[in-house]
């Protein structure tokens, strides 16, 4: 082999070995939510986004079988099928629960996990009385999407869901068009909750998760999100956590600068240069 061909082969191996970044959204969002991050993260590797069932370009979960987190995990697996190397996963809320399920099923496909307030509310049952109030609060939100348990009023359910994760009155501040757009996803949010509460893996199962796992939370988030994240950070052997001061559950939207800094540091991307003074 000539020196030139050796150099080319090394460069090709280096390119192939560079992990991609898989970006996963939560309920009532789509892969487009990550667009503001593309510029800051693109130097880390290929960026892969996915639309979970019922969002963006993906159709609503068809049934008749109830949706499970494994069904969302299958979408992640397909999105990364063209990559031979493991990927860095960055996932928010419901997408975080889906990503964690995929990581447990296919640990060899994961380089690292960054889960932003993963909606693993089924883990709260393992915390006993100290999580009882938080579990009851998120179950009340979920029950609004279940005709057998809630009041079967889609508008009320979506409004309570939206205000729970943002702040009271947030729904009323939306335009009528935006409200109609979100209301059209009512059934899919119900499928998401069904998948969350049907999950059965315990904190003990997370001990198999050997990849670096970072939990990102907002200091002002509901206890259901904070406690679920703490369970994962504590149980994963390489788990850690960081809190964004003043942020809530929707911190990827409300605090992009802070999250960008966290992600760039995690992925080893050099800090963005400070703008020059005029």
**Number of other residues whose CB lies within 10 A of the CB of residue 171:** 19
Strand order in the sheet with 213-218: 47-50, 21-24, 87-92, 110-116, 213-218, 239-244
Structure tokens at 115: 């889960």
Structure tokens at 21: 């970044």
Strand residue runs (E) in the chain: 21-24, 47-50, 87-92, 110-116, 213-218, 239-244
Judged against a pLDDT cut of 70, whether residue 3 lies above it is answered with no
Q: Residue 18 — pLDDT band, cuts 50, 70, 90?
A: confident
Query: Reduced to 3 states, what is the DSSP secondary structure of residue 131?
Result: helix
In tens, the pLDDT along 192-216 reads 999 999 999 999 999 999 999 999 9
Mean pLDDT for all residues in the chain: 91
In tens, the pLDDT along 38-75 reads 999 999 989 999 999 999 999 999 988 999 999 999 99
Rounded Cα distance, 170 and 163, in Å: 6
Judged against a pLDDT cut of 70, whether residue 141 lies above it is answered with yes
Rounded Cα distance, 79 and 48, in Å: 7
Which superfamily is assigned to 18-267 in CATH? Alpha/Beta hydrolase fold, catalytic domain (3.40.50.1820)
Judged against a pLDDT cut of 90, whether residue 140 lies above it is answered with yes
Q: Which of 169, 165, 158 is nearest to 224 (CA)?
A: 165
The answer for residues whose C-beta is within 8 angstroms of residue 102's C-beta and 6 or more apart is 72, 73, 76, 77, 89, 109, 110
């Amino acid at each position: 082999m000539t020196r030139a061909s050796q150099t080319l082969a090394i460069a090709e191996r280096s390119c192939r070995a560079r992990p991609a970044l898989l970006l996963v959204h939560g309920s009532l969002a789509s892969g487009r939510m990550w667009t503001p991050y593309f510029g800051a993260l693109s130097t880390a590797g290929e960026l892969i986004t996915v639309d979970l069932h019922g969002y963006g370009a993906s159709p609503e979960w068809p049934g008749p079988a109830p949706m499970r987190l494994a069904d969302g995990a299958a979408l992640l697996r397909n999105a990364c099928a063209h990559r031979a190397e493991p990927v860095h996963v960055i996932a928010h809320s419901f997408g975080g629960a889906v990503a964690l399920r995929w990581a447990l099923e296919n640990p060899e496909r994961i380089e690292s996990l960054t889960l932003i307030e993963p909606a693993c509310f089924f883990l709260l049952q393992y915390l006993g009385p100290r999580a009882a109030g938080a579990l009851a609060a998120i179950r009340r939100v979920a029950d609004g999407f279940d005709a057998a348990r809630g009041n079967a009023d889609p508008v009320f359910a979506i409004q309570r869901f939206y205000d729970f994760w943002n702040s009271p009155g947030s729904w009323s501040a939306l335009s009528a068009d935006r409200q109609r757009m979100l209301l059209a996803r009512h059934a899919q949010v119900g499928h998401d909750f069904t998948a969350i509460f049907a999950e059965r893996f315990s904190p003990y199962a997370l001990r198999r998760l050997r990849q670096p796992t970072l939990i990102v939370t907002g200091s002002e988030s509901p206890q259901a999100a904070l406690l679920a994240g703490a369970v994962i950070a504590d149980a994963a052997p390489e788990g850690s956590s960081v809190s964004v001061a003043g942020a809530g559950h929707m911190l990827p939207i409300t605090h992009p600068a802070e999250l960008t800094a966290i992600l760039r540091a995690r992925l080893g991307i050099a800090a963005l240069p400070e703008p020059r003074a005029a």
